[in-house]
Amino acid sequence: MTAPIEFCHWLSGTPGSVAFHESIWVYPIVESIHVLTLCVFLGLTVMLDLRLLGAIMPATPVSQAIRRLLPWMIGGFWVMAASGALLFYADPVTNYFNIFFRLKLIFLVTAGLNAAVFHVMASRTIRQWDLDPRPPIRARLAGGLSLALWAAVVICGRMTAYRWFDGDLESLAR
Amino acid sequence: MSAPVFFTWCETSWIGAGIRDSTWLFPVIESLHLLGLAVIGGSVLMVNLSLLGLGLGPQSAAQVWRDTRPWFVGSLAVMLGSGLLLFTSEAEKLYYHEAFWVKMSALVLSLVFTATVQRRIALGDPDRIPPLRSRAVGLVSLLLWFVVGAGGRWIGFS
């Protein structure tokens, strides 16, 4: 089995990674796409979470909001994931040793688990509270948790650009 | 040619200097600006998707407009507040930065368009407004806000 760091070293040596890293235009453009798609994916996620918290769109059934917004959220998510993967590909080793990048991944996975748990729960019970302006506590909890986790993802993502503790992590790895 | 007095004054003020001299203050304010972006982006998108006949649909544009207003106004306040702080820390540099002026012009246009044309169409009776017109308004609004966002991102590349 290859260690993650060896994989990152190998990846950073591939021609595509080097070209991407050194490009003048491609990198900023991909980064811009990553940031602006935030409005689509996270913007609509926030709106849905606020609905779950009972803070917005009280007259819109939760199931309707989910059905009409989910395709946009999923589309936005894949654009974010693909552009994010490309940004990682441009500089794998530096990202690997970046503490904020690692934290971001942890929050990302946790946010995904939260969404999965919510969907399993909602698919069984949503009929009982679909029209409630203020959904039951478990739905509100899922919405609140989602907001907090995605905020953590955004903050860690922003901090990834700053390499404050990379040396610490690198020396730990030795 | 040197930057106008106002820009120099901002940059040399204790707020501008404090943000510039701090290691973490700028990134923290930037994060706040990004979190505000998610909320304002969401509320702008909700209204425009409705106007385009997508999202919650054209029949719900007025409802979506009313429901999202507090969040739009609140997140706009966060964006302007955090943006102003970021501005003070590098006002002189921004004066010479094209992207900054593009962003500010687009922002003014977006806000005027939102408060006038878009407001009237969103709150109007959907059965009496030609679908093509509300779609055009949704598209123009999205384009204007896109320039604001892209200009903002471009400020960081210099």
Q: What is the pLDDT of residues B84-96, one digit of tens each?
A: 999 999 999 999 9
Asked if residue A173 has pLDDT above 80, the reply is: no
Residue B1: pLDDT band by 50, 70, 90 thresholds?
Answer: low
User: Which residues of chain A neighbour B154 with C-beta distances below 8 Å?
Assistant: 28, 32
Q: Where are the domains of chain A?
A: 4-173
CB contact under 8 A, A56 and B57: no
Domain of residue B105, residue span: 5-155
pLDDT of residue B2: 74
Q: How many domains does chain B have?
A: 1
Interchain CB contact of A35 with B (< 8 Å) = yes
Q: Does A68 touch chain B (CB under 8 A)?
A: yes
Q: Which amino acid is at A79?
A: V
Of A39, A64, A68, which is closest to B37 when you measure between CB atoms? A39
> pLDDT digits over B33-78, tens only?
999 999 999 999 999 999 999 989 877 899 999 999 999 999 999 9
Summarize pLDDT for A27-69 with one digit per residue, the tens: 999 999 999 999 999 999 999 999 999 999 999 999 999 999 9
**Which long-range contacts does A10-17 make (Cβ < 8 Å, 24+ apart)?**
A11/A89, A11/A92, A12/A91, A12/A92, A12/A93, A16/A89, A17/A89, A17/A90, A17/A91, A17/A92
B3, amino acid identity = A
Q: What pLDDT was estimated at residue B19?
A: 94
CB distance B35–A50 less than 8 Å? no
Interface of B with A (CB under 8 A): 23, 27, 30-31, 34-35, 37-46, 49, 54-57, 60, 63-64, 67-68, 71, 146, 149-150, 153-154, 157
ipTM summary value:
0.93
Residue B27 banded pLDDT, cuts 50, 70, 90? very high
What is the band of A1 on the pLDDT scale with cuts at 50, 70, 90? low
Q: What is the pLDDT of residue A172?
A: 77
Over residues B101-109, the mean pLDDT reads: 98
CA–CA separation, A164 vs A84, rounded Å? 21
Cβ–Cβ < 8 Å for A27, A21: yes
Question: What's the predicted TM-score (pTM) here?
Answer: 0.94
